[in-house]
Amino acid sequence: MNPALAPRFCGHCADDNRRMAAKCVMVLGTTSGAGKSWVTTALCRWYARQGFKVAPFKAQNMSNNARVVAPTLVASRTALSPGGAGFPWGSPAENRGGEIGSAQYFQALAARAVPEVRMNPLLLKPERDTHSQVVLLGQVNAELTGLPWRGRSERVWPQIAASLDALRAENDIVVIEGAGSPAEINLMASDIVNLRVARHADARCLLVTDIDRGGAFAHLYGTWALMPEADRALLRGFVLNRFRGDASLLAPAPQQLEAMTGVPTVATLPMWWQHGLPEEDGIFDDRSTARGEVTTTVAVVAYPRISNLDEFQPLKNVPGVRLRWARSPADVADADWIVLPGSKHTSGDLAWLRAQGLDRAIAAHAARGGRVLGICGGLQMLGEALIDPHGIDGNAPGLGLLPLVTVFAPDKIVRQREARFATLRGPWAALSGVAVGGYEIHHGQTAPHAAMAAAGDIAQAVMPDGLAWQNAAGNVLGLYLHGLFEDPAALQALFGATVPTLDAVFDGLADFIDIHFAPGVLDALID
């Protein structure tokens, strides 16, 4: 490790910590989906491989893909937040665990760090087009959820700044991810995730654009031009992402852009469909799945408030498996499996599913003995009814494929779990006795329908504590546990296959940027 970047924690005061804080590298983007998350992940592993102590950070993430992290002890509690003073909704020092965005979870693993809530202090989980659930420092906060967007920013900035300062005090390098674009001039006054963070951390910034969309140089120049002049000085390089073709044909545009802005283009990253990292929004298509001859087609129902899609990434790496979005009956007609994934608004997504005619298609598939899997919200949909006495999600009739009833409760269940399948029947029998690890994120409890059970129609509990249920025929399985396909034992049982480990994926990302960034750039960012 570079002695100049050895850990610098000082317990005397927060000001000392700020003066001796970690170097910060920040990844900004010209648009959402430009590639910020995976570049940040690659940088986390690249710097960790140089021997540095690295942590990721994203002040605010808007995503329904979340992971559960455990409580952690915080060394800088006294220095940065004595007693939680000044933090009405909880101190970063408390670190009770809870939810963070999936991208920051994977970035922490890439950095060889323990994922924790300070790495993503604010998580917004969209429930409707005009409403999001607010998760602050891992915990759902009803008061903040009720505040308008702009009014919320100043209320949460102290926790965001303290979280970042604490990570800087405890690490050599913090790799920061921005959100959307830093040039959204309608949002600059209330910004808490892009330029305000960059200034606070004195970050050396990269600006990433997706050249495959077209207009990349206009995006880069326009973003630079709309940034305040003082903030432009933080930009150290432009990155062209997802390039297809002969890179020599880009000239003289990078040189002209540097002459206009003073910012060099430091990397041209080729299109890479099968890098193995879960996309932040779980996006997949035929170019990033189906290795070799297709033997199993898995149709995942893509309702509007779908969540936790990143857990299906390992299936993309299983030889012979093709994943397909299902938005119409035609999309599931020839599928071997139909998966109902998690949902941030179960009753609303269930109504959408019916409007598309997918309810009848799923019922017909199940009647033929086809495999149906419901995960979390998908499990709830498979039952007879959703009952909502507290106005959490909404009442609705279920699909009737499992004799179960879900009752929503105000308290949200957020926890890591390990459990073992009992004996299963039918197509899922290969999972019998398999122990798996994962996590729960859901409102409500699911139990057998009393009247149906009395009549002899009983769902079989195939995991402790109501975590998983199976129908009598054995082809319909529902479980609350996220992460089934991330467990090597489950993949081996279901497909007889192993897939690349996440650690190997992270190393591949680091190798990729090592090849395609200009020599010396990554070192210069922390010099």
Residue 10 has pLDDT above 90, yes or no: no
Residue 77 has pLDDT above 60, yes or no: no
Which H/E stretch holds residue 201? helix 195-201
Under the phi-then-psi rule, with left for phi > 0, alpha for psi from -120 to 50, and beta for the rest, what region is 73? Answer: beta
- CATH 3.40.50.880 maps onto the chain at 291-499
Q: What distance in Å separates the CA atoms of residue 249 and residue 393, rounded to the nearest whole number?
A: 53
Tell me the whole-structure pTM to 2 decimals: 0.84
pLDDT tens sequence across 261-308: 999 999 999 998 878 887 765 555 554 454 578 899 999 999 999 988
The model's confidence at residue 433, banded by pLDDT at 50, 70 and 90, is very high
Asked whether 257 and 220 are in contact (CB, 8 A), the reply is: yes
- pLDDT for 71 equals 85
* Span 237-242, average pLDDT: 97
* Average of per-residue pLDDT values in the chain: 88
Stronger pLDDT, 224 or 410, i.e. the higher one: 224
Write down the CATH number for the domain with range 22-273+508-524: 3.40.50.300
In order, the DSSP letters of 150-169 are HHHHHHHHHHHHHHHHHHHH
The model's confidence at residue 129, banded by pLDDT at 50, 70 and 90, is low
Lowest mean pLDDT across 11-15, 27-31, 84-88, 331-335 = 11-15
Which of 232, 304, 229, 240 is CA-nearest to residue 268?
A: 240
- pLDDT for 87 equals 55
Residue 304 burial class via C-beta count within 10 angstroms: exposed 0-12, middle 13-18, buried 19 and up: middle
Q: What distance in Å separates the CA atoms of residue 345 and residue 167, rounded to the nearest whole number?
A: 33
Residue 67 has pLDDT above 60, yes or no: yes
SS3 state of residue 94: coil
Per-residue tokens: 40: 């940040």
- pLDDT for 199 equals 97
Q: What distance in Å separates the CA atoms of residue 403 and residue 460, rounded to the nearest whole number?
A: 10
Stronger pLDDT, 291 or 342, i.e. the higher one: 342
Q: Which amino acid is at 25?
A: V
> What are all long-range contacts of 85-88, with beta carbons under 8 Å and residues at least 24 apart?
86/158, 87/158, 87/159, 87/162
Report whether the peptide linkage leading into residue 252 is cis, meaning its omega lies within 30 degrees of zero: yes
Of 205, 376, 443, 449, which residue is the catalytic one? 376
Which of 68, 71, 64 is CA-nearest to residue 92?
A: 71
The model's confidence at residue 65, banded by pLDDT at 50, 70 and 90, is confident
Q: What distance in Å separates the CA atoms of residue 207 and residue 194, rounded to the nearest whole number?
A: 11
Relative to beta strand 23-29, strand 173-177 is parallel
The residue assigned the tokens 């607010």 is: 134
3-state helix, strand, coil in the chain (%, to 5): 35, 25, 35
The alpha-helical segments, DSSP class H, found in 171-267 are 195-201, 216-226, 229-232, 253-261
- CATH 3.40.50.300 maps onto the chain at 22-273+508-524
Stronger pLDDT, 182 or 154, i.e. the higher one: 182
Q: What distance in Å separates the CA atoms of residue 484 and residue 375, rounded to the nearest whole number?
A: 9
Determine phi and psi for 135, rounding to 5 degrees.
Answer: -115, 115
Which of 38, 101, 61 is CA-nearest to residue 309?
A: 101
DSSP code, position 287: T
Decide if domain 291-499 falls under CATH 3.40.630.10: no
- pLDDT for 74 equals 55
- pLDDT for 142 equals 85
Q: What distance in Å separates the CA atoms of residue 415 and residue 138, rounded to the nearest whole number?
A: 11
Relative to beta strand 204-210, strand 337-340 is unpaired
pLDDT tens sequence across 135-144: 999 998 888 8
pLDDT tens sequence across 395-404: 999 999 999 9
Determine phi and psi for 246, rounding to 5 degrees.
Answer: -90, 115
449 catalytic residue (yes or no): no
The total of other beta-carbon atoms located within 10 Å of residue 132's CB is: 17
Per-residue tokens: 2: 């570079």
Asked whether 388 and 332 are in contact (CB, 8 A), the reply is: no
Which of 137, 135, 118 is CA-nearest to residue 127?
A: 135
Residue 88 has pLDDT above 60, yes or no: no
The alpha-helical segments, DSSP class H, found in 35-91 are 36-49, 77-80
Residue 6 has pLDDT above 60, yes or no: no
- pLDDT for 148 equals 80
pLDDT tens sequence across 345-366: 999 999 999 999 999 999 999 9
Asked whether 478 and 468 are in contact (CB, 8 A), the reply is: yes
Asked whether 483 and 438 are in contact (CB, 8 A), the reply is: yes
pLDDT tens sequence across 358-392: 999 999 999 999 999 999 999 999 999 999 999 98
345 catalytic residue (yes or no): no
Residues 6+ apart with CB under 8 A from 378: 301, 339, 340, 341, 342, 343, 478
